[in-house]
Amino acid sequence: MVYGVSGRSKEADIVIWDANNYPSLPLEDHSFFFAEAVRAVIEVKSNWTAVEFLDVLEKSKLVKDLRFPREENLADQIDYLAGEVAALKRGADYHGVVRSKHTIGTAAVFLRGGHSFSLSYLKDQLVDILDQIDDVWPEIMLFLEPGKVVLKEYESTGSGGGSGWVEFYTFGEDALLYFTNSLLQRLSQRVVNTEEPFYLTRYAHFEWPSPDEWYEFPLLRPVPHSRHLLGIEDEI
């Protein structure tokens, strides 16, 4: 389980966490992870059903809702210094940086089933879920047997707003590879690299096709962003 300052997740199947900088507490019936340490939580289901899907959504929302102190790390400090340097070059006053950081990443894997999972299925059977995608959906879903991957993507306008959408892909036998690549990309957004970052695409040939379907959903939370302030309206 993952614990924040005012709540906890449900039992998680897989927790990816920073063991070098944070402790965990192995208890008798589960392991206790602190939210600051966790980079992603993955739920694994043997079979896809509507009931299991709703269970994944509930667990994903609990993870996204976890609150914990968000203080500056090394990357934030370097980002601040870069903003100051840019302001000096432009001869502008620097008023700091406004950030909205990523929440803990979430993903789900369904080993069997999900052949019919699509945008049209959701509109027919689970239409209410479409308005809650921002709040409850995992960022990545893998349907292993049919070879499907569903990705949740965002684009920031720089002030907490922006747009969000989901993309539906059919990759067949390469679905696990594309899922892994997407997971590593999202983990890289949540770590501070002191060495050159790793990219799976350097070692495997990736051609991202156009999605089978996509759907833009309403935003319910701020989009992760970093905005440097130079005066009342000017920004970098």
Q: How many CB atoms lie within 10 A of CB 74?
A: 10
9 pLDDT more than 90: yes
pTM of the model: 0.90
Residue-wise pLDDT for 110-157, tens only, equals 999 999 999 999 999 999 999 999 999 999 999 999 999 999 999 998
- Please tell me the total count of domains within the chain: 1
42, 14 Cβ separation under 8 angstroms: yes
Domain containing residue 207 = 39-228
The answer to the question of residue 66 being in a domain is: yes
Lowest mean pLDDT among 81-85, 95-99, 197-201: 197-201
With respect to residue 155, please indicate whether it lies within any of the assigned structural domains.
yes
Q: 181: which residues sit within 8 A by CB, 6+ positions away?
A: 200, 201, 204, 206
Q: Does some domain include residue 13? A: no
SS3 per residue for 129-185: HHCCHHHHCCCEEEECCCCEEEEEEEEECCCCCEEEEEEEEECHHHHHHHHHHHHHH
User: How much is the pLDDT for 160?
Assistant: 67
pLDDT (mean) for 88-107: 91
Residue 7 has pLDDT above 70, yes or no: yes
pLDDT of residue 234: 55
> Residues 6 or more apart from 28 whose CB is under 8 A from it?
none
Q: Please answer whether residues 43 and 12 qualify as being in contact, where contact means their C-beta atoms are separated by less than 8 angstroms.
A: yes
Average pLDDT of the chain? Answer: 91
What is d(CA 26, CA 120) in angstroms, rounded to the nearest whole number? 44
Asked whether residue 196 is assigned to any structural domain, the reply reads: yes
**Residue 171 belongs to a domain:** yes
Tens-place pLDDT, residues 31-68: 899 999 999 999 999 999 999 999 999 999 999 999 88
pLDDT beyond 80 at 208: yes
Q: Is residue 164 part of a domain?
A: yes
| Residue percentage of the chain with pLDDT more than 70 | 97
190 within a domain of the structure (yes/no)? yes
Is 199 within a domain? Answer: yes
Maximum distance among all alpha carbons in the chain? 59
Tell the burial category of 118 from Cβ atoms under 10 Å away from its Cβ (0-12, 13-18, 19+): middle
